[in-house]
Structure 1
Amino acid sequence: MWGRRIVDPKLNPKFVRRLTVQYGGSVALYLIAFLLTVAVNVWAGLVLAVGLTLLYLLPPPRPRYDRPA
């Protein structure tokens, strides 16, 4: 979509893809937490949302760069 213009071009494409999937997955899980809170059980949704938030406190993975040719 953005053509990697906002990402360091030296980063390994697999690393960038993994982070993209990870962050996209967390957004999907936040949506599920919201729907769970509204439709089923407030506490279950809150536990899921708080758990996801706590995952962001973990240190991020070290960046992987492509080796220069």
Structure 2
Amino acid sequence: QHTNGSDPIIEIDGVAAPFTAAWSLNNKTRTTSDTLQWIGRHYNGSDYHDGYMDELRYSKAARASAWRK
């Protein structure tokens, strides 16, 4: 686990994603809790990496939110 200022950071397959990032997916904002739950559901799944990257690519706003910090 890394930190970026006061924001906890989690690294997923080399991608640093702030815990505080909100993912805007399917026309609704995904909160930190939702994001962590999604990561938890997919972390041990064989489709984890592809699914995560698909969700990141789904929304430019989500990607911008993740890399802005």
Short-chain TM bin = 0.3 to 0.5
- Higher-Rg structure is 1
Please give the TM-score of this superposition, normalised by the length of structure 1: 0.33
What is the TM-score of this pair, normalised by structure 2? 0.33
Compare the two structures and name the one with the higher strand fraction. 2
Structure with more relative contact order (C-alpha pairs < 8 Å, separation 6 or more): 1
